[in-house]
Structure 1
Amino acid sequence: MSMGNDVKGALGIALLMTCAQAHAADGEAPAEGAAQGAIVVLGQGLPPPPATPAYGTEVLDRRSLVTEPSGRVENALATIAGFQQFRRSDSRSANPSAQGMTLRALGGNASSRALLLLDGVPQADPFFGYIPFTALVPERLGAIRVTRGGGVGAFGAGAVAGTVEMMSADRAQLPPYEASAFLGSRDAQEASATLSPDIGAGFLSLSGRWERGDGFWTTPHTLRVAASVPARYRDWSTSLRAVAPVGRHGEIQARLALFRDNRTLRFAGADSSSEGEDASIRYVGRGRWQVDALAYVQARNFTNITVSSTSYRPVLNQRDTPATGLGGKLELRPPVGGGHVLRIGADTRIVSGTMLEDALDATGRVTARRRAFGRQLMAGLFVEDDWTLGRLTLTGGARVDRWTIRRASFFEQSGAGVTTIDDHFPDRRGWESSFRAGALWQASPAIALRAAGYTGFRLPTLNELYRGFTVFPVRTDANPALKPEKLKGVEAGVDLTPAPGLRLAATAFYNRLDDAIANVTLPPPATNVRQRRNVDAIVAKGVELSAEGDLGRVHLAASYAYAHGKVRAAGGLDGQAPAQSPRHMASGAMGWAPVEGSDLGLRLRYVGPQYEDDLGENRMSDAFTVDGHAQWPLARGVSLVGRVENLFDARVVTRQVGADIDLGLPRTLWLGIRITG
């Protein structure tokens, strides 16, 4: 009953705000400072504030996304050095619950320390905090903006490592229709289609994607057993987006999305699934008072069967993990004038989730049934102002958040139905404040200097608090006493544009994440057991370099990140490198369009050595991969497309515990047709 009231309240407030602002914006004059008669393309959000570059942003445009050789968003993001998932695997061969993402060597667990938004809506799974990458299709996106470091804007409570803002393709970027079909190595198949007709003064975009593959061997040949199988995958997703103008200066954007993802990893029967249904409605007003009002609801689920690496039989059936996320935001930009762009707003996010799992013996008999439940609420107020003074732009912002963790419990029953554990954890609540400030000085047309400082926090996920997991031979236990992580950071950089179409950037940073949540190895007599714990801090410092050039039909890009991370903690962890955090990451991209409608390109990626564990005992070697993409027009609107992943078949280690390792994607070839009209 309480959850129902929370849902009704959050959605009711957001929808009332939407309707009220839609009515208020109708007939308003253009925003102060906006170009008179400027063309507004349907489907976009409000423009980023003028001081956004002060925080060292990187942008992936639509061309970079749709020509990614793997066809996957997470690999497109990997071209921005410093971005990483928990493991090196992509969404074809990783357990879905391990798809957390972070930036700047602040990794170490599978939950996301970076905030990912799609059209302003948080995308992290409400229970686990992982990102459902198979539901995020490059063809549906217009651009991605990545901002490293803490954020204090809407939903900024989770942005301790950075913010990844995905924008859906707008009316100008979407052709009336497009479709593609590919065949790949190991009987892989992929098909997608998008239909985007104009409807009155607005438009619809209906998109679907389906893919499957027999998979590749993640287990080296010398370690395979009779139960070993390739990493098979099967998934689909569909999305319907509708955009319609409201009044003279506003528009409504509505989105529905469904997805289903099935994978098999390492052993026969080690199956996992994830699925979701999302809905959102958004009002964007570009009048004198600019408005961005949003309401959304998400329903997600996850299942997983763990197979023993000794008996090769199922030992754990995580049969159901239903979770719900809902919330909304209201952001206002009043016409204050005087060179100011002021943003004020509020947001809320309510999540709840239940874990249901059965422990099994060698015969498949249930030996224990477990249930965990928790609910979190996060609500915040934020304000940020950008003040332009000639060539100098100053920015400052703050937010305050109220958080609660309620009705948390863990229940276990024996196979015979006898209750063995019945824990009900006390409700927890608190207030957190976050700040950031920056400056951007355009020293000359070719030189811009910037500096910024920020704080932030992240609440532990329900998964970290209440659900343990096993990746044999290591068991990782949950910890209901985890505290929020808190970030402090500073950075400074320079942006150079020495010639038209050429951009160079360099940033130096220092970040400290206090009470960082890590998977900590327990001392003897425990064996192969870790627990999620707050360590004193993770300190990361380093530099980020990037270069980009458009030379007619040739496009070049490069990115490099050096991040020196250290754990600060008592005992043997002090001074260790954070788990899953390489010091060196680099990428390069080359694209050439010799004729209209063609595109030839290469992607190069390097990831330095990193440790699987917190004690630095399992070191994974570095990896260098080369991918390629080629598109050549055959007829009007029809192109032949070829793709290659891991061209030189490099050996990429994605997990290592002693002699037990998993490998990443080997050389993979794709050939297909793309139709655009």
Structure 2
Amino acid sequence: MKSFFWKSTLPLAAVAAASPAWAQDADADGSTITVVGDLLGADQSNASVSIIDAAAIRRAQNGAAADLIARLPGVSITQYGTLGSVSNVRIRGAEGEQTLVVIDGVRVGDPSSPGGGFDFANLMLGAIDRIEVLRGANSLPWGSQAIGGVVAISTTEPDAVGGGTSGRIGAEYGARDTARVNGQFRADLGASQFGLGGGYVRTDGISNAAVGTERDGYRQYALNLTNRTEIGNTLTFRAFGLYADSRVDLDGFAPPTYSFGDTAEYQKTREHYAAASVEHRPGGNASTTGFSHKLAFGFADINRDNYDPAASSDPSFKARGRSERLSYSIDWLTAGNASAQQVRLIAGAEREWTRSLTADAFSSDSGRTATTGLWAMIVGKPTETLSLTAGVRRDDHRDFGGATSLAFDAGQKLGDHVTLRASYREGFKAPTLFQLSDTAGAYGNPDLQPERARAYEVGVRIAAAPSAVIDIAWYRRDTRNLIDFVSCPAGPNPLPPICATGNRPFGTYDNINRARGQGVEVEGAVQLSPGLRFSANYSLVVATDRTPGSVYEGNRLARRPKHLANAELGWTPGGAFTGADLSVAARYAGKSFDDRANNVTLDDYWLVDLRASYPLVAGIEVYGRIENLFDTDYQTVAGYGTAGRSAYAGVRWAF
């Protein structure tokens, strides 16, 4: 396992982008479709939850999901070059690998990658109906990896309202010979509803290496299927499947200089995700109180192959990662008073199996492990204005042992417009199979402990009117036992015991780091007039190295801008232009550092986008956008290129 380079892709075809929505949706049975808010509705949760709904996704047209998620408070992205190259989402200054991503109930991290995280590079918006982002540590219902937060994706939701069929088809063309075709289709067959989505995207791209002149292209096609079927009056079956195939050109370190620049390398990735569940509601599928329970199974399978035509036609590196999860959960809500004296108990048990295989020209490595988790959460509403939540989780990992996580929060309404909230939450991240490997000549350390985090938050929500809302939050997250790579030389410094075996000539992993992320988030939205809306947010993110005695103690963590801001002004003119939608969006990222020593600076930058759409006839509209309007030259990773001004135009049909 000697290659540090990894690339995992999650495909989803493209149509639409997003901005936060201050609302929630309801499923056909009346229940709230909210995945991240501690399994509660967004209006019931005391956590910081942002929702990007279907209307916001459609309004923003097309593009990569990470660019739109980056409009949310406390979120920053780092992208290693062209579309399809590694892209990380950091929430409140946490590592990208500490963001848990769930697609239609399936955890989609890559067990064969060093950090086990999810790569947002190929997450397009064509088959996505909804994105929910929970900001802050919360391993209670989610287990490992939810230190920074949780991003939950809902793909083509079956439409159980109104019967018949519906869908949308779109195509666009633009900068760098970029073409996208995508569509969604829904069918209601009475007791069973189906959703089918898919898409294709290709582009000549930009050079991954900022100094390069050769464009690095990208191609992806994907297909996803969802189903919801009622079996009698008390059972509901749900299923989800997604397959994608992608290819992206890479840059590397070619001889004789071994400096980063143009090469002919490329990577192919094939992904399979699937899940199925059966839910039983003794009181009937339409009931919203009482007892229900659910059995679910899901898996994620990712195959990656790197090629270097200058060396061989065979893969120079390959990785195979797979995770499977079986879970059972119960949900019991007392009927009580509609607004008070309600008690809700949610609990679950799960078993997850993961395995990985990596191989390059020098060696191969494989591993597998399993984790068992038990958790329970109780939600109480003693009065009409006070809500309380408490929970505990216990995970037993076959290799490193156990981890216990706690969570508490409270929310108090003051009058009709103000809500105070406070929370304490814990998170952990298990060492990956790559990091735990005991194979001679590899990099792993079987003695690793999980990364742990304690997070605190207080906030206030003010809804001055239905058309105006503001949310202010202060947070702090202390993380310990962070896993980092260390060398294994002889010397007086304490080293992992595995260094003494002589089997780690290139170094190994160790629990050495501590970090703190703290800051303030302010977000708001207002309807200025019937056709004019404005939303904005500002985040102060102070993420520092707190490793005692380290030469880096007090330094800012790499690639975390201290200041983040977003604003969007949208206009629907009406009158003779009824149906038209115009918007301008701006995103600011402050100065950051590219390295732990804070020696390499990444300059601050502004990005401004324009978007417009107009209906031609019923169901058919044309649209266009300009991204990076002022052609800003910037970098999110030192040495890697970013796209300049880019224009796109397209047409879509909703039926």
CA distance in 1, matches of 2:538, 2:438: 36
Name the amino acid aligned to 1:352.
R
3-state DSSP class of the match of 1:112?
helix
Please report how far the alpha carbon of residue 240 of structure 1 lies from its aligned counterpart in structure 2 after TM superposition: 0.9
Segment drifting more, 150-159 vs 570-579: 150-159
Is 1:635 aligned to residue 624 of structure 2? no
Aligned 1:210-221 pairs, distance under 5 A: 210-220=200-210
TM-score for both structures, normalised by structure 2: 0.82
Name the amino acid aligned to 2:172.
F
Name the amino acid aligned to 2:148.
A
Name the amino acid aligned to 1:588.
A
Aligned 1:521-536 pairs, distance under 5 A: 532-536=509-513
1:117 to 61, 77, 102: 102
| Aligned equivalent of 2:643 | 665
Residue 135 to residue 370, structure 1, CA distance change in 2 (3 Å)? same
Please report how far the alpha carbon of residue 598 of structure 1 lies from its aligned counterpart in structure 2 after TM superposition: 2.8
Name the amino acid aligned to 1:209.
G
| Aligned equivalent of 1:382 | 375
2:352 to 341, 345, 349: 349
Structure 1 contact 153–399 (Cα < 8 Å) conserved:
yes
TM-score for both structures, normalised by structure 1: 0.79
Name the amino acid aligned to 1:141.
I
Aligned 1:259-274 pairs, distance under 5 A: 259-266=244-251, 267-274=262-269
Q: CA RMSD in A?
A: 3.1
Residue 351 to residue 113, structure 1, CA distance change in 2 (3 Å)? same
2:145 to 152, 155, 158: 158
More helix by share: 1
Cα deviation, 1:458-506, whole Å, max 9, x if unaligned, reads 01223444599xxxxxxx9665543310001111000000111211001
Cα deviation, 1:23-51, whole Å, max 9, x if unaligned, reads xxxxxxxxxxxxxx996269957872588
Name the amino acid aligned to 1:242.
N
Aligned 1:567-582 pairs, distance under 5 A: 567-569=545-547, 570-582=549-561
1:276 to 271, 278, 282: 271
Residue 535 to residue 581, structure 1, CA distance change in 2 (3 Å)? farther
Aligned 1:61-100 pairs, distance under 5 A: 61-68=53-60, 70-85=62-77, 87-89=78-80, 92-95=83-86, 99-100=87-88
Name the amino acid aligned to 1:84.
S
Residue 314 to residue 524, structure 1, CA distance change in 2 (3 Å)? farther
Structure 2 contact 126–183 (Cα < 8 Å) conserved:
no
Structure 1: where are the runs of 5+ without partners?
1-36, 359-368, 405-427, 469-475
| Aligned equivalent of 2:29 | 40
Aligned 1:49-64 pairs, distance under 5 A: 52-64=44-56
Segment drifting more, 589-598 vs 114-123: 589-598
3-state DSSP class of the match of 1:572?
coil
| Aligned equivalent of 1:400 | 394
Name the amino acid aligned to 1:48.
L
Aligned 1:365-444 pairs, distance under 5 A: 369-389=362-382, 390-404=384-398, 428-444=399-415
2:317 to 319, 341, 347: 319
Please report how far the alpha carbon of residue 66 of structure 1 lies from its aligned counterpart in structure 2 after TM superposition: 2.7
Structure 1 contact 51–439 (Cα < 8 Å) conserved:
no
Cα deviation, 1:423-474, whole Å, max 9, x if unaligned, reads xxxxx33011000100000111110000000112101223444599xxxxxx
Structure 1 contact 602–629 (Cα < 8 Å) conserved:
yes
CA distance in 1, matches of 2:127, 2:272: 17
Structure 2 contact 438–446 (Cα < 8 Å) conserved:
no
Structure 2 contact 99–117 (Cα < 8 Å) conserved:
no
Structure 2: where are the runs of 5+ without partners?
1-25, 252-261, 284-289, 492-505
CA distance in 2, matches of 1:244, 1:90: 42
Cα deviation, 1:278-327, whole Å, max 9, x if unaligned, reads 111023445431234321122211123479xxxx9789954321111111
Name the amino acid aligned to 1:74.
A
CA distance in 2, matches of 1:637, 1:296: 36
What fraction of aligned residue pairs are identical, expressed as a percent?
22
| Aligned equivalent of 1:410 | none
Structure 1 contact 638–676 (Cα < 8 Å) conserved:
yes
CA distance in 1, matches of 2:243, 2:81: 20
CA distance in 2, matches of 1:230, 1:458: 37
3-state DSSP class of the match of 2:45?
helix
Count residues in correspondence.
Answer: 578
CA distance in 2, matches of 1:80, 1:173: 30
Please report how far the alpha carbon of residue 639 of structure 1 lies from its aligned counterpart in structure 2 after TM superposition: 0.6
2:132 to 134, 141, 145: 145
Residue 42 to residue 566, structure 1, CA distance change in 2 (3 Å)? closer
3-state DSSP class of the match of 1:76?
helix
Aligned 1:219-234 pairs, distance under 5 A: 219-220=209-210, 223-224=211-212, 228-234=213-219
Residue 105 to residue 649, structure 1, CA distance change in 2 (3 Å)? same
3-state DSSP class of the match of 2:542?
strand
Name the amino acid aligned to 2:177.
D
Name the amino acid aligned to 1:514.
R
Please report how far the alpha carbon of residue 195 of structure 1 lies from its aligned counterpart in structure 2 after TM superposition: 1.7
1:447 to 418, 436, 441: 418
| Aligned equivalent of 2:304 | 302
Structure 2 contact 105–298 (Cα < 8 Å) conserved:
no
1:255 to 232, 240, 263: 240
CA distance in 2, matches of 1:52, 1:125: 32
Structure 2 contact 196–226 (Cα < 8 Å) conserved:
yes
Segment drifting more, 331-340 vs 647-656: 331-340
Aligned 1:1-40 pairs, distance under 5 A: 40=29
CA distance in 1, matches of 2:292, 2:397: 28
3-state DSSP class of the match of 2:596?
coil
2:531 to 547, 553, 556: 553
Structure 2 contact 411–422 (Cα < 8 Å) conserved:
yes
CA distance in 2, matches of 1:638, 1:115: 37
